[in-house]
Structure 1
């Protein structure tokens, strides 16, 4: 069982910047979203025995994980795993949406924009590292994972055996949790902030 969480809203999200491997702190809304996810997880996991939490090493995921842990009563301590970090677009990390669109070759479909940077990660590199992480989770493991938007798309796409184009267009809410269990993926919405 994996509960997959995306970090809460960041200052860069608010400014419509693609963060990639760069970082940005959570906004007040992002901190509230993290608390709501923690409240939901406390209901989903009333006894944390046998559970572990894993977070991306990027600050926004660590900050979200810390708030979730605190909200859950401090019953878990997140471990960090670089394999679940957000996809890097290299020198394009931190660009606003319109800046990125100006650099994207016009013959490249919009969902493929993430892989057009001359020094960013390729689809295959991202696929391989997230597949490696998923492959390290045993059938009976119980994990709460705090990751990112594009990384979360990949994780759900790999788990659900989706085609590339389906994977790249999955929603990436910051106020929901995805349960990956028994070959199915279920979205569980948090209470509104």
Structure 2
């Protein structure tokens, strides 16, 4: 049976606004971030998407986004949906992020030397968590809210040659089909545009 995963990024945060590295550390949603979450909520209402289960990263920014989108729906917090841990780079200005090495599409294992995670670790953590969510799903549609780096890592793991690179903007929604233990990107939505 085919199921749908609506994998979403949280709304804009103070650290996003200030151009700070935000992985394991947290910061609150801005007024714009709250508005983005309302636009995502309006998308689900307009499209009449019936969410059978809802999951959020344990981080405040993801939980606050979820509570705006689904104010009356219980949801489960999952540590496996947390953002990529950037180690000593946490809270630093974004311009200090290292450039990608030639031929690479991510930071690879760079942050391991600074107490953070590698892209492979984030991919595996996200895949394990989302596979379990979809396996346990009673119904057709699940919503999971995470963060940009974690969404991107998951995308790198599951992308197909035909896939167009989605936007990873705040409150973007990546819609995946889940079938036979695999994830297939169907489309991406940017409710704010």
Q: Normalised by the size of structure 1, how large is the TM-score?
A: 0.80
Residue 174 of structure 1 aligns with which residue?
A: 170
Residue 2 of structure 1 aligns with which residue?
A: 5
3-state SS in 1 of match to 2:70: helix
Distance 1:90 1:143, change over 3 A: same
Deviations 1:137-184 (A, max 9, x none): 13864211111101111223333357xxx99x7531124322112633
Q: Normalised by the size of structure 2, how large is the TM-score?
A: 0.80
Residue 129 of structure 2 aligns with which residue?
A: 133
**Contact kept? 2:107, 2:118, Cα under 8 Å:** no
The size of the alignment, in residue pairs, is 178
The runs of 4+ residues in structure 1 deviating greater than 6 Å are none
Q: Which has the higher helix share?
A: 1
Distance 1:111 1:14, change over 3 A: farther
Q: Where does the alignment leave 5 or more consecutive residues of structure 1 unmatched?
A: none
3-state SS in 2 of match to 1:37: helix
3-state SS in 2 of match to 1:95: coil
Residue 99 of structure 1 aligns with which residue?
A: 96
Residue 148 of structure 1 aligns with which residue?
A: 147
**Aligned-pair Cα RMSD in Å:** 2.6
Distance, in Å, in 1 between the alignment partners of 2:7 and 2:28 is: 20
Distance, in Å, in 2 between the alignment partners of 1:22 and 1:107 is: 22
Residues 1:108 and 2:101 are matched in the alignment: yes
Q: Where does the alignment leave 5 or more consecutive residues of structure 2 unmatched?
A: 179-183
3-state SS in 2 of match to 1:178: strand
